[in-house]
């Protein structure tokens, strides 16, 4: 490769990294403002910690942005119109897929046909939520565990993410072990 080619590659790579950073930062800023004053049940930590945790599991900037924004329409006053003004169509569509605005059966049907990156975001979302099982109501725990066993763990395996499926199983096993010891 010529010296000019190397310079172009470096410049092009830097430009992409800069635009990736801007995209992730814009999504983080909007999500932080939207979730201001919200706290996670049980732990009391600022809610923004949850979408940030999910985003940290993603590799691509667009996936990180969707993960950061995945709860803003469902849990805040942010609308799809607001997202449309600030983000591209694929990001807004990813958020729409992840927003629970239908019954559980329809939601899972939507996720089953979603792009793999969106499915992976939901698996990581579920994994993070499983870490707080003890803070849910009994019905909430049963629902989260059943959904994980029947849908999210098989979906993780379908995506060749045995690591995530295993981690979900380990969290549930630890939870059940703690219950049995009490």
Find the angle CA(166)-CA(170)-CA(172) to the nearest 5 degrees.
Answer: 120
What is the chain's alpha carbon radius of gyration, rounded to the nearest angstrom? 18
Q: 175 lies in which domain range?
A: 102-182
Q: What is the pLDDT of residue 62?
A: 96
| For residues 98-127, average pLDDT | 97
Domain edge (last residue) among 49, 71, 101: 101
| For residues 168-179, average pLDDT | 86
Residue 5 has pLDDT above 70, yes or no: no
Does residue 130 share a domain with residue 88?
Answer: no
Domain count, the chain: 2
| For residues 142-158, average pLDDT | 96
| For residues 82-89, average pLDDT | 96
Count of C-beta atoms within a 10 Å radius of residue 5: 9
DSSP for residue 114: S
Q: What is the CATH number of the domain that holds 66?
A: 1.10.3210.10
Q: What is the pLDDT of residue 148?
A: 97
Q: What is the pLDDT of residue 42?
A: 85
User: Is 36:78 a contact under the CB 8 Å cutoff?
Assistant: no
Q: How far is CA 120 from the centre of its chain?
A: 8
Does residue 57 share a domain with residue 2?
Answer: yes
Residue 76 has pLDDT above 50, yes or no: yes
Does residue 147 share a domain with residue 65?
Answer: no
User: Is 69:91 a contact under the CB 8 Å cutoff?
Assistant: yes
Residue 182 has pLDDT above 80, yes or no: no
């Amino acid at each position: 490769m010529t010296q000019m080619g190397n310079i172009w590659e470096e410049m092009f790579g830097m430009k992409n990294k800069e635009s990736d950073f801007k995209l992730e930062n814009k999504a983080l800023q909007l999500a932080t403002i939207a979730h201001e004053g919200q706290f996670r049940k049980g732990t009391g930590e600022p809610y923004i910690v949850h979408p940030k945790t999910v985003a940290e599991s993603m590799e691509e900037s667009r996936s990180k942005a969707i993960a950061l924004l995945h709860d803003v329409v469902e849990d805040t006053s942010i609308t799809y119109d607001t997202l449309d003004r600030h983000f591209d169509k694929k990001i807004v569509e990813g958020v729409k897929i992840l927003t629970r605005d239908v019954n559980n059966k329809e939601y899972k049907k939507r996720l089953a046909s979603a792009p793999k990156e969106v499915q992976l975001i939901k698996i990581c979302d579920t994994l993070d939520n499983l870490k707080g099982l003890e803070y849910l109501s009994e019905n909430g725990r049963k629902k989260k565990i059943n959904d994980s066993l029947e849908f999210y763990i098989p979906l993780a395996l379908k995506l060749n993410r045995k690591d995530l499926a295993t981690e979900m199983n380990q969290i549930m096993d630890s939870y059940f072990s703690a219950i049995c010891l009490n």
